[in-house]
């Protein structure tokens, strides 16, 4: 029995409503038969059967919400029931019982007799529905041990290491390096080393290959399938959801592509071949002259010039295209969302950190004796946690309906880190309860993890207020964007030695640092953020006063 996972319908859609089931449990279905209609926030979409079989279960009732990459219905493909090892490995009629020479199929029989299992990419949390495969640590056919690292995947937030659920042998890698893996979809298949008593023999896959063995390509190297044309038995052009999505992404129509599969089914290879032919046929002409591309075809690629020909100016200035994925992709989405949905109020101030720098110099040897590097950041965070006591709304959150303010019990200060995977904001938990040395140790750990791209998911969750240290790059002023759902963020500029007047009117040399706050103007007004900043400034300009408030 197989579960049909609701495919990615595109355009960021993560759920849809089941409008009408065209079948019932127990019904026979044919390949490409319409099974259910679902309504997204864009349109009505028809889901078809991936192959012939019998419906065994409908997971989502009519009128309920179905989730992308979650089971929609279960079915039994024709040929699943009653299959045995004989179906996988038929005996040779000419083989003698005492024949000592084993055929390759006979040698593979013990592997085929063990059910291959799909490893489903688990829900990594935070609403993440997909991730990029960064590096496979194993190859098909390799033996693996329980908890052995198998693959690194990049989510919207960090690099995550996926380990083996049990010992066995990798039989198939479903998602190549650099491609996108979907949550709740198979990531790889493996044959377990140990099988529980009573477990059934796995049936051969639809391709005819045995589970647990390396898969071969389903089409020959030098033969291109001949398109059959026409429509399927249900009056529509047969194509899988993945192929339909590929067609949509390239702005094509199924009607314009010749399908080489059964009943004119459009395969992925047909779409790729169409794109290749369209680019060569309509985007380039000889001698570098371009003519208008046909509607629906992608823009032309610059081709490699013939040997001895001088490269054209267009080829010299070819545009390099890099997909936005992982952390950069989520940063782009969240920054747009935050800037367009939260009314930002900015407030700037200068802080004299002369005494703070002197205090740090006195404490540095103490911290270094405990293998801790003491920067100004833990002092900024500790002062921030103390200032929250006076203006707790800066450490609060709004509910989704913007009808309630939720005051949070802990001050979890996030710090923007320019990691090798992009901008991330890990946070130090419960700063109000930690010593300055403990905060410094946490900052040191998070910074090291960020540089390696291996920040744990827990370190990225639960932030309540953020600091962006642009001064580390030499910046003086910035207008930061709030890290939603937080209500405030501060950008810290570099410290500069500048002339200032002392209480006697004499010009003195002081270390001046500029800061710029951004607050959610729906609940934070100018007076509130000014009072908060003044309290924070007071602790930083007279750091010894923090001792009076440390618990």
As annotated, the active-site residues are 521, 525
Q: Can you read off the two tokens belonging to residue 49?
A: 């059967």
Determine the number of helices (DSSP H) and then strands (DSSP E) in the chain: 11, 26
Nearest alpha carbon to residue 330 among 484, 189, 167 = 484
Distance CA 518, CA 466 (A): 10
In Å, how far are 122, 291, 299, 302, 311 from 306, measured between CA atoms? Answer: 49, 20, 21, 12, 9
Q: Are 78 and 164 in contact (CB under 8 A)?
A: no
Q: Can you read off the two tokens belonging to residue 199?
A: 């477990």
Distance CA 133, CA 202 (A): 28
Q: Are 541 and 500 in contact (CB under 8 A)?
A: no
First to last CA, the chain: 60
465-468 and 413-415 as β-strands: parallel, antiparallel, unpaired? parallel
Q: Are 383 and 490 in contact (CB under 8 A)?
A: no
Nearest alpha carbon to residue 491 among 512, 510, 467, 524 = 467
Instruction: Give the E-state strand segments of 375-476 in sequence order.
Output: 396-398, 405-407, 413-415, 417-419, 422-424, 427-428, 465-468
Nearest alpha carbon to residue 186 among 196, 172, 203 = 172
Residue 348: φ, ψ to 5°: -110, 155
Region for residue 474 given its phi and psi (left: phi exceeds 0; alpha: psi -120 to 50; beta: otherwise): left
Q: Which residues contact 331 (CB under 8 A, 6 or more apart)?
A: 422, 423
Burial class (CB in 10 A: 0-12, 13-18, 19+), 491: buried
Distance CA 53, CA 32 (A): 11
Q: Are 546 and 434 in contact (CB under 8 A)?
A: no
Distance CA 212, CA 517 (A): 58
């Amino acid at each position: 029995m197989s579960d049909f996972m609701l495919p990615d319908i595109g355009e960021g859609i993560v759920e849809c409503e089941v409008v009408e089931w065209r079948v019932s449990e127990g019904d026979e279905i044919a390949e490409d038969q319409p099974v259910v209609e679902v309504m997204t926030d864009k349109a009505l979409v028809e889901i078809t059967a991936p192959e012939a079989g019998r419906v065994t279960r409908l997971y989502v009732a009519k009128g309920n919400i179905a989730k992308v990459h979650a089971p929609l219905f279960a079915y039994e493909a024709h040929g699943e029931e009653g299959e045995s090892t004989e179906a996988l490995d038929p005996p040779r009629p000419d083989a003698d019982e005492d024949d000592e020479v084993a055929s390759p199929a006979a040698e593979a029989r013990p592997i085929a007799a063990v059910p291959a299992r799909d490893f489903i990419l688990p829900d990594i949390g935070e609403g993440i529905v997909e991730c990029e495969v960064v590096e496979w640590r194993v190859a098909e056919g390799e033996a693996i041990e329980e908890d052995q690292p198998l693959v690194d995947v990049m989510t919207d937030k960090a690099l995550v290491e996926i380990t083996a659920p049990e010992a066995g042998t990798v039989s198939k890698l479903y998602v190549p390096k650099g491609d996108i893996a979907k949550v709740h979809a198979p990531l790889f298949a493996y044959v377990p080393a140990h099988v529980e008593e009573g477990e059934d023999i796995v049936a051969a896959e639809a391709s005819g290959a045995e589970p647990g063995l390396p898969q071969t390509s389903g089409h020959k190297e030098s033969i291109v399938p001949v398109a059959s044309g026409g429509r399927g038995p249900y009056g529509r052009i047969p194509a899988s959801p993945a192929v339909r999505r590929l067609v949509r992404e390239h702005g094509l129509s199924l009607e314009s592509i010749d399908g080489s599969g059964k009943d004119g089914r459009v395969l992925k290879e047909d779409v790729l071949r169409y794109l290749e032919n369209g680019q060569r046929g309509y985007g380039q002409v000889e001698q570098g002259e371009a003519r208008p591309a046909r509607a629906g075809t992608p823009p032309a690629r610059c081709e490699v010039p013939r040997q001895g020909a001088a490269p054209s100016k267009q080829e010299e200035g070819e545009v390099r295209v890099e997909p936005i994925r992982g952390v950069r992709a989520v940063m782009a989405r969240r920054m747009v969302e935050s800037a367009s949905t939260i009314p930002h109020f900015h407030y700037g101030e200068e802080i004299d950190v002369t005494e703070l720098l002197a205090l740090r110099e006195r404490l540095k040897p103490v911290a270094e004796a405990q293998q801790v590097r003491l920067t100004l950041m833990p002092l900024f965070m500790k002062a921030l946690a103390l200032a929250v006591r006076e203006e707790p709304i800066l450490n609060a959150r709004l509910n989704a309906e913007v009808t309630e303010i939720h005051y949070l019990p802990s001050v979890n200060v996030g710090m923007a880190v320019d990691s090798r995977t992009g901008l991330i904001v890990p946070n130090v938990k419960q700063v109000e309860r930690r010593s300055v040395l403990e905060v410094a140790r946490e900052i040191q750990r998070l910074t090291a993890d960020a540089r390696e791209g291996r920040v744990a998911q827990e370190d990225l969750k639960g932030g309540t207020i953020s600091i962006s240290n642009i001064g580390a790059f030499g910046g003086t002023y910035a207008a930061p964007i709030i890290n939603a759902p937080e209500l405030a963020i501060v950008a810290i500029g570099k410290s500069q030695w500048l002339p200032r007047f002392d209480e006697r009117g004499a010009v003195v040399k002081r270390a001046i640092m500029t800061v710029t706050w951004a607050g959610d103007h729906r609940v934070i007004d100018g007076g509130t953020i000014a009072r908060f900043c003044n309290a924070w400034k007071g602790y930083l300009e007279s750091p010894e006063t923090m001792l009076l408030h440390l618990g």
